[in-house]
Structure 1
């Protein structure tokens, strides 16, 4: 995507969007009347009190429940049994569950079963929950010290063994901690965070009392490990991704009132990342997104238990920074799993955007913040992300999940397989789609908040009431709430969220207009209620454009809370065209409604290279989509075409002078060029394939040679940092390359002259990339040998 200053012409062509909140997005909560009786805190109604009625959310629940029941608890338990010396009862699953992160899936699976049990009450779920907890207790008895884990350790000689052997080393101070590796284990503390979460969810949602004792015993083992370490060594361990292990021990303290766990939770504070946030500094660029978010959730839980203000401040600052400066239109964040600089979204619209785990965790964090100080602005973000990212993350036809949710035009979503992936986003997906009812209704005393408009019934015990919400929202703007049961008559307040994007609304109580008070983004209906009373809220679902942070000329189309995307064809068919654009004097006015009930629109005269059909992004599971568009005036579009043709001419000249081209990361070209490698991996980014080599590795390939002075050209992404490597030709180094991130937002071509003595009389040459120790070579997105 191009990045240029917003011209006067482009300001005019977006004129229709400004009045609809173009710039502000979901942060546009206008000043409302005073709080007017909005309580100062809130808690969600129990998940078991909510039952979903038919909707896309109910479809997601159904597909996920079917998948959970197809999975095997014994296969997730395989390594737990094996490492405890117990007979295994099922083969190890594939994918990540067969790698050194094995065992993570069990914790997520236990959480998902427990949440689904509360959400649906399905009788087949509870026995699985109880079985898993009992087996973990049996594993601990066999281990004899509270230990239970499924993760593995890869030794320096390549042997894969029980991960337990790293902990005596760590306790001796032999700590080798990197971003995702701790002494040869892939994120073991992150893994345990998920096991703790599963145990706590089994207790909370399925009433399993044994789960807490298993958690206490596991906590005892981990506490002994950290008790042997100095504070400096603890920080060294925390340099490896550790999920929200601080939250695990904060929660263990909350459930046992044993201050031992609180002390450990507070000790597991990663100063390098959390201190800047507590001081209000956004230093998130280049940090791995999902490594950081759980740490802040842990701080949120600690604040709730201790009242320490600095913890709340860090969480509040982080949430605002991410939602206002680092998030895409669908609510997700991260490119290649990492934060970019603030307000640079327009430069990071790729096929590797929006890791699903990040949104799963941001929604958890939003719940904490909302509970401390209810404000509808939190749920403007929550709704956007829940609808446009979380729903997009599952294919309800198969029940499978994406890892990334790509926003680059024409990129298809890639879904998991049944038994051979188990990426983190598959596992968090099992949870996300087991609890769509958990944030609809919140309460404080005699106030019931309705934050999400999802068809459902709710048992509100505080008021001894049963309510039913029916709606086709977000496809239609009418929401009906009926008091189905209420003993006698009583006063309470029904607080209905009025989204920031809504340009107005109408509210009827028992068919008559009602002048509700307003506060914190809510319409507050305070009255004496009786069984049979009805409320009807109507929200205008108007189209609007929103700009991507960093370039007001890159826009997305929304209708109410829903992101609409251009349909670019079936996912199983290739997309070879250019990213489409929108052109005109008033782009917003160029859209025509095709099917109101399904939220289908068409561009009329504004689409380039042609007009397009727009449908809800989340529902395009098996389609190729375009979400963001460069917006042009007619004059700008003409100028853009001239620049494109000029670039085409340059590339055509370079192709004519090329002796050979190596398409790295593509199977057949790598075979054709006799690729050799070690600790080297294919990569894909922004529609280009490439290859890197990690420390201790290399990659080499054979290229055709020719007469005359030649140059080797390699292509890199301009934001790569801390890359330090050498390029050699037939064993002689011709270049020392350092990539320092100095060319953001673009691919760069770097040319290296090849001494003629290295090519004279040769039909082929061998090109090799070698990283410096501790660094990475590349990734290189293609190599070309051409005549100078």
Structure 2
């Protein structure tokens, strides 16, 4: 019944979308086969020496520094058991506590499958046993590490969140449900960890714990009507729908599928199923896991509607919302389509987004094995995932800043535990999961990633060794070490970036079929056979949505201008640009070090070395460049100088000003605040105030008329706050994202009563449920009386 209604709705939406002129529904989505291709299991692939193996081993060292009992602290405490170790800091000391344990359990399970590591297996089994013990303390299946802050401000068990839900109390904000920071998101991570331990470690108890926890949630959600459920889903819930779909796949119990389908956030999913891009201003990583859940539903049911939503989302994000490194979103949010060049900032590309986009890519590839999916996968893996982990410390970056001169900020071992630390542990534990794929229908082995590795494909009897110079060099060698009697087809991906290629078998050129981005060779293989694929990698320019904003590419790699050590300050007045009348790349000369180029006359300021972006862990970089003719460059310099002069005049004319976000200036103006944080965006420092908080400070006063000038980012949205001066209301401000892609100054005339006295006390306080600002500058100026 559910599937029938869903298909009927899907057909209606497809017709409406076409009639309205939206992107047409991809016909191949309806024709997709849910399990056309399958990845070779992780346990059958072993990594060989390469940067990927180095990263994996670095990650393992960090994972083994972590103490499972510290991650289990809250689980035991709120189950009525004595914790065995103190809780960690950072996010694990907040109401989102417990999310890291789920990530960690997944990472341990993946690491065991990838390497056979027995210590990781032992830790995974121990965590599952502890979770089962905690769960056994309650009769209803509840087990959790998250907490909530009640109305009195006290921290209590997260169970209270769901006790309230049973009574019909649903109080949500985008990241808060009944006083807890995204508890369903946290549970999704726990479910995912349990399901990974089940499949990769063979731990049957892990599935039992997941089923009992599912029973608990099913009983809670049964008390909610449809409207209440949609309000619950307006708070980030990760990919909990994927967890229940997977429970259905593992157990065959249809109630888990019904629950997965009930976790459909219609406000987001309905437009995507209708092929409409309404992603602008949506929190990116809140949405991506939902689509992974939709993809899993298609694989289990064959219903084309969830596959249409998942495919359209992927196509839309990769084509219209993705940076050159494969990541997406600025300050964690999608922007309007095809505006990447306007959002090159220090807060781009949250790692979790790319981690989840790669998971979604794997699902879509299963249905339609085309090389284009792995063109995106390879780009993101090499340029974002490999940039996210510091090779020396094993620590992880939350954002991947792309603004010229920005530096990567890495986690600390025991005091952060951001979401991107958790997804980082998973990303760097499973590089072998997508190298080799099987299409059993036509007996094809696909080689999608050229990561040095060995394969033991036990069902077919095929074994091979893969060695590769990629990504710095362009040669890959695949040597057969054992083969079955029957003929087999091997398909090698010809990357979309390859302008030419050459394939040889045992040193001799071969003619092979090329289709859907693969060169295919079918034969009866023999031990010792060697396939060699050569892929030349000349430099090329890749435009952004703005043809005059470009990046330099070599093969799959984004090249960065090296702007110096992160230990040295960056001179912000001189972002590099490419200036030439003709071929810009003619000014790049290769250096002795592989993958390194020196640009001289064509880059200003210069000369500059260009190197692979991913390796710039402790260096400042630029990867987006204005491409200008000499006259246009001179005009741009003049505009920049005029803007600097205008800023200097404003500062000189001000009666007083406070540089919000600057400690010395804030202290000099006696700033006080609660639930307020320093921010930095586009090299401007500022300060916000969150719901329930405020920020206030003193300015030097004088007799009026006066006005207060505050600076905001024009794209801020969902901000509502009051501005007061000496206790008098100045304005009720609403920022709703309609003031342009720029910083804007807003003048507020001050009431005459506020200008009496030596000091002017300015207070900014948000409405309940909203934030204030951020404010990126404040000036007191002579002006007109209100």
TM-score of Structure 1 vs Structure 2, range by shorter chain: over 0.9
Q: Say whether 1:631 aligns with 2:605.
A: no
2:474 is the counterpart of 1:481: no
Show the counterpart of 1:42: 37
Greater displacement, 494-503 / 582-591: 582-591
When residues 362 and 596 of structure 1 are mapped into structure 2, their CA distance, relative to the original with a 3 A threshold, is farther
Which residues in structure 2 correspond to 1:73-222 (within 5 Å)? 73-222=68-217
What whole-Å deviation, never above 9, does each CA across 1:645-672 have from its counterpart, x for those lacking one? 2222222222221222211122222122
Take 1:260 and 1:165, find their aligned partners in 2: how far apart are those partners?
25
1:371, CA displacement in angstroms? 0.5
Does residue 747 of the first structure (1) align with residue 740 of the second (2)? no
Q: 1:730 aligns with which of 726, 740, 750?
A: 726
Give, in whole Å, the separation in 2 of the partners of 1:123 and 1:696. 48
Deviation at 1:587, TM superposition (A): 4.8
Counterpart of 2:411 (choices 413, 416, 421) is 416
Q: Which residue of 2 aligns with 1:661?
A: 657
Which deviates further from its counterpart, 474-483 or 705-714?
Answer: 705-714
1:629 CA displacement: 1.0
Decide whether aligned partners of structure 1 residues 710 and 301 sit closer, same or farther in structure 2, where only a CA change above 3 A counts.
same
Q: Give the one of 381, 386, 390 matched to 2:381.
A: 386
Q: What is the alpha-carbon distance in structure 1 between the residues aligned to residue 684 and residue 470 of structure 2? A: 39
How far, CA to CA, are the matches of 1:181 and 1:431 in structure 2? Answer: 25
- Is 1:324 aligned with 2:310? no
* Residue equivalent to 1:524: 520
Question: Aligned pair count?
Answer: 748
Structure 1's 269 and 757: CA in aligned 2 closer, same or farther, altered over 3 A? closer
2:450 counterpart residue number: 453
**Aligned 8 A contact 2:549 2:626 in 1:** yes
Query: What CA distance in whole angstroms lies between the structure 2 residues aligned with 1:546 and 1:261?
Result: 45
Match of 2:604 among 608, 617, 623: 608
Cα distance in 1 between the residues matched to 2:461 and 2:34: 20
Q: Deviations over 1:97-143 (max 9, x none)?
A: 01000011111100000000011112211111111111111111112
Distance verdict in 2 for CA 1:318–1:99, change over 3 Å: same
In the TM superposition, residue 60 of structure 1 has moved relative to its aligned partner by 0.7
Match of 2:295 among 276, 300, 318: 300
Gaps of 5+ in 2: 1-32
CA–CA distance in structure 2, aligned partners of residues 753 and 273 of structure 1: 41
Distance 1:651 1:389 in 2: 36
Deviation at 1:709, TM superposition (A): 4.4
Encode CA deviations 1:606-645: one digit per residue, 9 max, x unaligned.
1112221111110101111111111111010011112122
**Which shifted more, 600-609 or 245-254?**
600-609
Structure 1 residues 758 and 265: alpha-carbon distance in aligned structure 2, compared to 1, 3 A threshold: closer
Contact kept in structure 1, 2:283 and 2:334, CA below 8 Å:
yes
Question: What is the distance in 2 between the residues matched to 1:402 and 1:279?
Answer: 35
Greater mean alpha carbon deviation, residues 585-594 or residues 290-299: 585-594
- Specify the SS of the correspondent of 2:289: helix
1:159-218 Cα offsets, whole Å, 9 max, x none, are 011111121210110111210100011111111111111111111111111111111111
Q: 2:642 aligns with which of 631, 640, 646?
A: 646
8 Å Cα contact 1:544-1:588 kept in structure 2: no
What is the aligned counterpart of 1:582 among 578, 583, 603? 578
Match 1:467 to one of 438, 441, 464: 464
Check the 8 A contact 1:591/1:601 in 2, yes or no: no
Q: Secondary structure at the match of 2:268?
A: helix
**Partners of 1:756 and 1:742 in 2: CA distance:** 31
**Does the residue aligned with 1:598 lie in a helix, a strand or coil?**
coil
Could you tell me how far apart the structure 2 residues matched to 1:345 and 1:592 are?
25
**CA distance in structure 2 between the partners assigned to 1:405 and 1:508 by the alignment:** 39
Following TM superposition, by how much is the alpha carbon of 1:730 offset from its aligned partner in structure 2, in angstroms? 1.4
In structure 2, what is the Cα distance between the partners aligned to 1:708 and 1:373?
Answer: 70
Distance apart, 1:764 and its partner CA = 2.4
1:154–1:40 CA distance, 2 compared to 1 (3 A)? closer
Question: How far, CA to CA, are the matches of 2:583 and 2:448 in structure 1?
Answer: 32
What is the CA–CA distance in structure 1 between the aligned matches of 2:362 and 2:293, rounded to whole Å? 13
1:337 maps onto 2:332 in alignment: yes
Query: 1:40: how far off?
Result: 8.7
Is the 2:370–2:517 contact (alpha carbons within 8 Å) kept by the matching residues of 1?
Answer: yes
> Once structures 1 and 2 are overlaid, which stretch shifts more, 687-696 or 617-626?
687-696
Structure 2 Cα separation of the partners of residues 787 and 590 of structure 1: 54
Distance 1:233 1:518 in 2: 53
Assess if the C-alpha contact under 8 Å between 1:545 and 1:558 holds in 2.
Answer: yes
Q: Work out whether 1:544 is the aligned partner of 2:552.
A: no
Q: Distance in 1 between matches of 2:768 and 2:70?
A: 39
1:363 aligns with 358
Moved more, 83-92 or 38-47: 38-47
Q: CA deviation at 1:705?
A: 2.8
Segment drifting more, 419-428 vs 519-528: 519-528
Which digits, 9 at most, give the CA deviation of each residue in 1:296-332, with x for residues without a partner? 0000000011111100000000000000000000000
| Structure 1 unaligned residues grouped into runs of 5+ | 1-37
- Once residues 121 and 80 of structure 1 are traced to their aligned partners in structure 2, the CA distance between those partners, rounded to angstroms, is 28
Q: Distance in 1 between matches of 2:583 and 2:334?
A: 31
How well do the aligned residues superpose, as a CA RMSD in angstroms? 1.6
Within 1, Cα distance between the matches of 2:392 and 2:597? 24
